[in-house]
C-alpha cells in the first residue's frame, strides 16, 4: 500500500493503563508498541490520542454504587459499559507507554475529559454528537485517509475508524498494531462491523 501526503496515522490510547500491569490492561497490549513505532516512521503525519478522564468519571464502575466493572448501565445518552478506574488525568496510568517513541507526532488529542460522558471515538463522544474537534483539525489539514492503530481494537479503535468513515475519510485499521479487550465477542463483532461498514482491515502494511 503506497502512502500519501494526505494520509494520517491515528495512534489510539497507547497508555500504561491499557497495557499489562495497568488498570484496564488489554491482553498483550504492549506488543503493539514496537509495531506502531515502526509504522510511524513510514507516515508523514501522525496524531496521538490519550484517554483522559477526571477522577470519579461517570464511566467508572466505582462512580455507580453497587455496580461492578464490565457491567452495563444506562446513561442519559444510552447504554454504557462501566470500567475499572483508568487513565485518570495526571496519573502514571494515563501516560503513554514508556516505549512509545513518536517524537514527530503533530497533535495529541485528549478525550473522555467531560465528567458525565465517555468517549471511545477520537471524533465523537459516546452521545455520538459531541465533537472532540479532531474532524475539524484533520479537514483543515487536508487529510483524506485515516489509518487507525492502538488500543483497544474493539472499543476506541473501532469507534474511531467507524466515525472516520462516516465523516467521509477513507478508513483503514492495521490489525497487527491493535489488540482487543474482547468482552462478550466484541472483537469478532468489530471485524463483522468493519466488513459491513466500509472500513478496510489489513493485517499490516509494509
Ligand atoms: C477504552 C474502554 C474505556 C479504549 C477507553 O481506549 O479502548 N476502552 N476507555
Ligand atoms: Zn476510558
Residue 75 lies in a domain: no
What is the pLDDT tens value at each position of the chain, 206 positions in all?
A: 899 999 999 999 999 999 999 999 999 999 999 999 999 999 999 999 999 999 999 999 999 999 999 999 999 999 999 999 999 999 999 999 999 999 999 999 999 999 999 999 999 999 999 999 999 999 999 999 999 999 999 999 999 999 999 999 999 999 999 999 999 999 999 999 999 999 999 999 98
For position 206, what pLDDT does the model report? 80
Report how far residue 48's alpha carbon sits from residue 105's, in angstroms, rounded to the nearest whole number: 7
Local structure of 147: helix, strand or coil: strand
Residue 98: closest CA among 19, 39, 179, 181 = 19
CA distance 91 to 177: 25
- Atom in ligand 1 nearest the alpha carbon of residue 15: 6
Q: Which atom of ligand 1 is nearest to the CA of 157?
A: 7
Q: For ligand 1, what atom is nearest to the CA of residue 18?
A: 6
What are the distances in angstroms from CA 29 to CA 2, 26, 152, 180, 196?
27, 5, 8, 8, 26
Q: Are 72 and 79 in contact (CB under 8 A)?
A: yes
Whether residue 151 has its Cβ less than 6 Å from ligand 1:
yes
* Residues belonging to the active site: 13, 111, 156
159 lines ligand 1 (CB under 6 A): no
Question: How much is the pLDDT for 2?
Answer: 95
Domain of 192, in residue numbers:
7-53+84-202
Alpha-carbon span 19 to 38, nearest angstrom: 18
Q: What is the rounded distance in angstroms from the CA atom of residue 6 to the CA atom of residue 141?
A: 9
3-state DSSP of 106-168: CEEEEECCCCCCCCCCCCECCCCCCECCHHHHHHHHCCCEEEEEEECHHHHHHHHHHHHHHCC
Which helix H or strand E contains 197, and what residues bound it?
helix 186-197
Residue 170's nearest CA partner among 190, 204, 143 is 143
131 CA distance to ligand 2 middle (Å): 16
From the CA of 80, the nearest ligand is: 1
Give me the residues paired with residue 96 across strands. 15
Ligand 1 lined by 60 (C-beta under 6 Å): no
Does some domain include residue 149? yes
Residue 67 falls inside a structural domain = no
For residue 152, is the peptide bond before it cis, meaning its omega torsion is within 30 degrees of 0?
yes
| Within a domain: 1 | no
Distance in Å, CA 2 to ligand 2 centroid: 33
For residues 201 and 70, what is the distance between their CA atoms, to the nearest angstrom? 27
- CATH number, domain containing residue 160: 3.40.50.850
3-class SS at 108? Answer: strand
Residue 206 CA to ligand 2 center (angstroms) comes to 31
The Å distance, Cα 10 to ligand 1 centre, comes to 15
Residue 173 domain-assigned? yes
Answer yes or no: is 79 within a domain. Answer: no
**What total number of domains does the chain contain?**
1
Compute the distance between CA of residue 96 and CA of residue 200 in angstroms, rounded to an integer. 26
Q: Is there an atom of ligand 1 within 6 Å of 51 CB?
A: yes
Q: Counting atoms of ligand 1 from 1, which one is nearest the CA of 12?
A: 6
Amino acid at each position: 500500500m503506497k502512502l500519501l501526503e494526505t494520509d494520517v496515522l491515528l495512534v489510539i490510547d497507547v497508555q500504561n493503563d491499557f497495557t499489562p500491569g495497568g488498570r484496564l490492561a488489554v491482553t498483550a497490549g504492549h506488543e503493539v508498541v514496537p509495531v506502531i513505532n515502526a509504522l510511524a516512521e513510514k507516515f508523514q503525519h501522525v496524531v496521538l490520542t490519550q484517554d483522559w478522564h477526571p477522577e470519579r468519571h461517570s464511566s467508572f464502575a466505582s462512580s455507580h454504587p453497587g455496580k461492578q466493572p464490565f457491567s452495563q448501565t444506562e446513561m442519559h445518552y444510552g447504554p454504557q459499559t462501566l470500567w475499572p478506574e483508568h487513565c485518570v488525568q495526571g496519573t502514571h496510568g494515563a501516560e503513554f507507554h514508556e516505549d512509545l517513541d513518536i517524537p514527530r507526532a503533530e497533535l495529541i488529542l485528549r478525550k473522555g475529559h467531560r465528567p458525565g460522558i465517555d468517549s471511545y471515538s477520537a471524533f465523537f463522544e459516546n452521545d455520538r454528537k459531541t465533537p472532540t474537534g479532531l474532524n475539524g483539525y484533520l479537514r483543515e489539514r487536508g487529510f483524506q485517509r485515516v489509518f487507525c492503530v492502538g488500543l483497544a481494537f474493539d472499543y476506541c479503535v473501532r469507534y474511531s475508524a467507524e466515525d472516520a468513515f462516516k465523516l467521509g475519510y477513507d478508513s483503514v485499521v492495521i490489525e497487527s498494531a491493535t489488540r482487543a479487550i474482547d468482552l462478550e465477542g466484541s472483537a469478532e463483532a468489530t471485524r463483522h462491523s468493519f466488513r459491513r461498514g466500509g472500513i478496510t482491515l489489513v493485517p499490516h502494511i509494509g
